[in-house]
C-alpha cells in the first residue's frame, strides 16, 4: 500500500489552521486509498533525531509548518537537521515532498522557500504545496473556495509521486554536488539508523557522559593530579564529618574559581558521594575559592556564614545552604 508521512512542526494549538489543512489533505489521500501517518513533533521532542528512519517506509512526505513569528520553527528545523546528519541520502533522493505553510504573521513565503531549499539540499524532490496567510482561522476554515484549493493541491501531489514524475533540474542540487558536498561520515545506512537511535536515547547519552567522566578521573589520578584523587583532603574532610539526615537527598556543585575545577557532593540518606566533575542539575551551585572552603572545613566559618559575608555565591534554594552545615559539622 502506498504511504505518505506528515511531519507537523507546530505546537498543536486548536487555532492553528495548519491542523485544518492537514486534516483536509489526509481526507483526500484517504479517499485515494493512500495510507497516511502523521508525526506531531511536539509530542516527542526527544525522539526527533530518530525520525529520519521513518522515511524508509514511505513513498512521499508532507512537511507542515506554522509561522507564528519567524521561520519554520525549531522542531521542524531539528527534524531537517537530523535528516541531514543521520538520514539515508539514497532514500531521500527518491522522496517527493509537499510543503504546507500557514502563517498568522508575515513570512509564510520565506518559510515555504526554506522547506523547498532544505529538501533540495537533502537531495529530495519538492513538489508544489500550500502557502497561505491566515488572518482569521474561522473564516479560513469555513471558506469553501479554500477547501477546494487544498483538495486540488493534494490531488496534484498525488499524481506527482504516484506517477514518479520527472522534476526539472535545480541549481541547488548542482551546488550540493559540486561546491558544498556534505561531509561524509562513512557510515552504512544501518549504522546511520543505529546512530540516530542512540542520539535520541537520553539514557545512552547520559551513560556515555558518565563513562567519559570516569575515564577522565582515572587518567588524572594516574598522572598524579591530587585535586581529583580519592585522597583529596576536601573529600576526606567531607566524608569524615558527614552526619546523615534521613529522608534527605541533595546535591551540591562547588566550583573553585582559583583551581578551575568543581567538587560535586551528592547525599542520599546515609549515602555520600564526592567527586570532581560536573553536575548541571545540582540542587545548589556554589562558586568560591579554595581559601574560603579551607576555612569552612577547618571550622572557622560555615557555608551559610561564608555566603552571608559574600565570600561565596550560590544559585538554588538557599535553605539548602543551611542543610549543608547540618550534614557536615566541622569542629571550631
pLDDT at 109 exceeding the cut of 80: yes
Q: Please name the residues in contact with 212: beta carbons below 8 A apart, sequence gap of 6 or more.
A: none
* Banded model confidence at residue 185, pLDDT cuts 50, 70, 90: low
Which residue's C-alpha cell is 526527533?
Answer: 48
In a domain, 204, yes or no: no
In a domain, 213, yes or no: no
pLDDT at position 177 is 65
Final residue of a domain: which of 145, 180, 198? 198
* 179 and 269 together in one domain: no
Domain that holds residue 175: 3-198
Q: Please name the residues in contact with 164: beta carbons below 8 A apart, sequence gap of 6 or more.
A: none
In a domain, 203, yes or no: no
pLDDT at 132 exceeding the cut of 50: yes
Instruction: Count structural domains, the chain.
Output: 2
**CATH code: domain of residue 319:** 3.30.1050.10
In a domain, 59, yes or no: yes
Q: What's the Cα-to-Cα distance from 98 to each of 4, 161, 319, rounded to whole Å? A: 10, 10, 55
Q: What's the Cα-to-Cα distance from 178 to each of 5, 114, 118, 148, 239, rounded to whole Å? A: 31, 21, 17, 42, 62
**CATH code: domain of residue 89:** 3.40.50.360
* 192 and 241 together in one domain: no
Mean pLDDT value across the chain: 86
Core vs surface per residue 267-288: b (16+ CB within 10 A) or e? beeeebebbbbeeeebbbbbeb
pLDDT at position 184 is 47
Residue 131 CA to residue 147 CA, distance in Å, equals 13
* 36 and 172 together in one domain: yes
In a domain, 254, yes or no: yes
* Banded model confidence at residue 178, pLDDT cuts 50, 70, 90: low
Residue 250 CA to residue 77 CA, distance in Å, equals 37
pLDDT at position 161 is 96
Secondary structure E strands in the chain: 3-8, 35-40, 60-67, 96-103, 125-126, 130-133, 249-256, 261-268, 271-276, 284-288, 313-316
Final residue of a domain: which of 154, 181, 198? 198
* 19 and 156 together in one domain: yes
* 57 and 177 together in one domain: yes
pLDDT in tens, 134-174: 999 999 999 999 999 999 999 999 999 999 999 888 887 66
Assign 86 to helix, strand or coil: helix
In a domain, 217, yes or no: no
pLDDT at position 191 is 61
* 142 and 85 together in one domain: yes
pLDDT at position 268 is 86
pLDDT at position 270 is 82
Assign 276 to helix, strand or coil: strand
pTM over 0.85: no
Q: Give which of 242, 234, 232 is closest to 295, Cα–Cα.
A: 234
In a domain, 12, yes or no: yes
Task: Report the first-to-last Cα separation within the chain, whole angstroms.
Answer: 79
pLDDT at position 329 is 87
In a domain, 105, yes or no: yes
pLDDT at position 225 is 47
Residue 281 CA to residue 19 CA, distance in Å, equals 37
Assign 187 to helix, strand or coil: coil
Amino acid at each position: 500500500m502506498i504511504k505518505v508521512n506528515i511531519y507537523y512542526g507546530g505546537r498543536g494549538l486548536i487555532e492553528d489552521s495548519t491542523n485544518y489543512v492537514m486534516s483536509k489533505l489526509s481526507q483526500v489521500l484517504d479517499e485515494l486509498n493512500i495510507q497516511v501517518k502523521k508525526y506531531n513533533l511536539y509530542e516527542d521532542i526527544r525522539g526527533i533525531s530518530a525520525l529520519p528512519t521513518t522515511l524508509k517506509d514511505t513513498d512521499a512526505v508532507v512537511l507542515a509548518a506554522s509561522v507564528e513569528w519567524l521561520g519554520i520553527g525549531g522542531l521542524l528545523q531539528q527534524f531537517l537537521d537530523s535528516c541531514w546528519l543521520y538520514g539515508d541520502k539514497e532514500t531521500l533522493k527518491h522522496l517527493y515532498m509537499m510543503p504546507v505553510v500557514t502563517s498568522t504573521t508575515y513570512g509564510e513565503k520565506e518559510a515555504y522557500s526554506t522547506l523547498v531549499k532544505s529538501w533540495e539540499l537533502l537531495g529530495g524532490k519538492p513538489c508544489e504545496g500550500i502557502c497561505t496567510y491566515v488572518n482569521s482561522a474561522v473564516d479560513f476554515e469555513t471558506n469553501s473556495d479554500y477547501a477546494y484549493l487544498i483538495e486540488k493541491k493534494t490531488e496534484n501531489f498525488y499524481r506527482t509521486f504516484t506517477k514518479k514524475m520527472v522534476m526539472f533540474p535545480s541549481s541547488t542540487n548542482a551546488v550540493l554536488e559540486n561546491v558544498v558536498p556534505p561531509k561524509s561520515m562513512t557510515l552504512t545506512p544501518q549504522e546511520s539508523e543505529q546512530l540516530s537511535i542512540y542520539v535520541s536515547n537520553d539514557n545512552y547519552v547520559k551513560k556515555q557522559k558518565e563513562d567519559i567522566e570516569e575515564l577522565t578521573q582515572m587518567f588524572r589520578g594516574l598522572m598524579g593530579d591530587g585535586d581529583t584523587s580519592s585522597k583529596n583532603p576536601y573529600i576526606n574532610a567531607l566524608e569524615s564529618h558527614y552526619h546523615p539526615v534521613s529522608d534527605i537527598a541533595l546535591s551540591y556543585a562547588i566550583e573553585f574559581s582559583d583551581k578551575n575545577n568543581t567538587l560535586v557532593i551528592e547525599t542520599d540518606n546515609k549515602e555520600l558521594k564526592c567527586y570532581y566533575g560536573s553536575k548541571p542539575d545540582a540542587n545548589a551551585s556554589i562558586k568560591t575559592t579554595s581559601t574560603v572552603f579551607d576555612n569552612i572545613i577547618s571550622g572557622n566559618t560555615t557555608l551559610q556564614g561564608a555566603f552571608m559575608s559574600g565570600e561565596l555565591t550560590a544559585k538554588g534554594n538557599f535553605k539548602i545552604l543551611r542543610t549543608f552545615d547540618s550534614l557536615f559539622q566541622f569542629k571550631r
